[in-house]
Amino acid sequence: MEYKAKDYSRLIGMEGFSPELLRRHFTLYQGYVTNTNKLLEILEQMLRAGNLNTPEYNELKRHLGWEFDGMRLHEYYFENLGGNGRLSRRSRVAAAMIQNFGSVQAWEKDFRATGAIRGIGWAILYQDVTNGRLINFWINEHDKGHPAGCNPLLVMDVWEHAYMPDYGIDRAAYINAFFRNIDWRVVEERLL
């Protein structure tokens, strides 16, 4: 089964994100989809040929996580954008934030601080599937540091390609634009 790049062109025109930035970001995402498919095809061929336990096989297996997670994280990111940024205080997400952080404002303060961490990566609000707890995580690399047994609810890309073409080094302005465009309906649907 081949993965297909999803069409996120509906986001073009979104406040705070130039069409050029979004088109470049979509192209980057499409590269992850293409590379995921290529790696899966090569690994399948190696399996059929019995070329396992080789340095080439091992490195391709290691690299698959990078490409696959790059694909999937971008899908989560684009899908939780395009909204009006307003979180209903009566939503299940708001209730979970209040339960876990004391208030929606405390959650937002923590998420913004997570997104402002120096370096490249992702700020992700996860829900621990074992107890429902919400935790904001900083993830450096696509394929490293994801908490086992947790469901991503809100994903913010904080690699340079996500904001520097429009904001330069002003990551805080990008984070403000991100918050103005969150589609909380999508986040709510992800909540278990």
- The response to whether 146 counts as a known ligand-binding position is no
- The response to whether 25 counts as a known ligand-binding position is yes
DSSP secondary structure letters along 24-46: HHHHHHHHHHHHHHHHHHHHHHH
| 25-55 b/e (C-beta count within 10 Å ≥ 16 → b) | bbeebeebbebbbebbeebeebeeeeeeeee
- The response to whether 161 counts as a known ligand-binding position is yes
Residue 124's closest CA among 77, 87, 167, 82? Answer: 77
CA 115, 120, 121 angle in degrees (round to 5)? 60
Contact 154, 124 (CB under 8 A): yes
- The response to whether 166 counts as a known ligand-binding position is no
Tokens of 114: 């997570």
Which residue in the block uniquely carries the two structure tokens 């330069």?
168
- Binding site for Mn(2+): which residues? 25, 74, 157, 161
- Binding site: which residues? 25, 74, 157, 161
